[in-house]
Chain A
Amino acid sequence: MLSYKSSILTDVLLIFYVFIVIAISGCIQDVELDLSDKNHEYVLNCILNTQTDTITAILTKTKNITDGSKSFESVKNAEIVLYENDERLGSFSFSGSDNYFLTHKPKPGSTYRLEAKIENNKIWGETIVPKTVKGNIEKLPSSMEGYQVYFEDNKDEDNFYWVSATGYEQMPDTTQKDTFVLHTQKNIAGIILSNFEYADDFNRYIGDHGIYKFEYDYYIRFSDSQLPDSIIHVKFRPFAGSSPEIFFLSTDYHLDKYMKSSLMMERMEIYAEDMPIIYAPVPIYSNIHGGTGIFGSFTSISKEF
């Protein structure tokens, strides 16, 4: 199996970096930068899932990137309110787990507005929950082929689709420090193989996996802007462990942007310390006005095999 996960440019820049390090080994120093210490922002995160009855919102504050603490300051005294099609649904209640909760099942096609009032500040975001996806998931006869999703695209709205899978794997239990213990953990598929020609290439690698030429990190993403027909078939093979559950998500515009920028940043992050000169950070998408974070939504179909 061949898989090339770095580009020519990466090689070249790696060499360049080696050269620079040799040349300037004495010229790297610790610095304290003026990193906007005074302007910590509020962070509001909430993703609506039409399959769940409880909505979770998390309200925290940003911290300096050089702040060594692991946790983020939770904002506990806020009033967080959800509106559905401009009608107030109710206030979230704060729990001991530093999260806010509201019992409600989001409705496909509805518009939601999330507002958080903290002292004299108000931050907010809006999302339109995508309509229910009509489609099905099936297992293909050959295990090398994997699975197939076929669905009907909603032509009356812009859709952003994400295909992925979860499964169970035996993992070392990191909580056991002195003994090696395996435990079963549910994970998202690390790699998904597919030849789907309309897939976004932002998380794609070229590989040689039998019938599939491309591999994707975690998800296959595509939007309906380039789909030629309303009925679409996507064949793919996830590496997801045992008892895989296949998911087909339709996200709103904001969650799509947030997911894509997050995954791009994750791929870039590996260079941050090892090869800082080629590290080009990607801004993470946010639709929270007055702060940062994400308020998005998705509908999904899934099937366990």
Chain B
Amino acid sequence: MTDAKPGGRAAGKTATGHIDRRACVKALLDSQGDDVLIIAGLAGAKGDVIAAVGDAPRVFAFGGAMGAAASMGLGLALAQPDKRVLVITGDGELLMNVGTLATIAIANPANLGVVCVDNEHYGETGFQRSHTGLGTDLAAMAQGAGIGAVRTVREMAELDEAGDMLRQSNGAAFVLLKVAVDDPPKVRIHWDAAYHKNRFRQALLGQP
């Protein structure tokens, strides 16, 4: 059973999704293989990624600069056409620069997937409700932006198909994970972004 009980700072909050974010992101990342390069957006998404794959060199995780994860994933995907790149980001961060979906759609790299962990709340700032809890559908926006491969996942059983789409799409792909609103334990990594950048490049390119 992977349903999450709202807890911690999220106590009493409700969302339309019911699947557990940590279990969901872990299952999806496990299905993609350990050579996929990952950009993790700030706050909850970063926690989900680090909890799933550890503080690994193939992960670049944000601690700020909200709104930049998706565009950074695009630059990385274009620079590394033979590697697959996944951006894991939250609904709040994606809403901040939602136009990036259009930028990604027209560039349309087949090796880029964007996964939005949508708990319908701004968890980092105290679980205020986000637009996605009030009717905004980021999957519809991704589709409207022109991204051809789009899936919404509401049940764990739907993850396999979404994972297949991420691996096999011949253009950019987008997955919306409708997760429960929960406040899982914080996952802390060192804040130094230059260290993480150099470690990422060393592992990928053989030099910092």
A, B in one complex: no
Residues of B within 8 A of A (CB): none
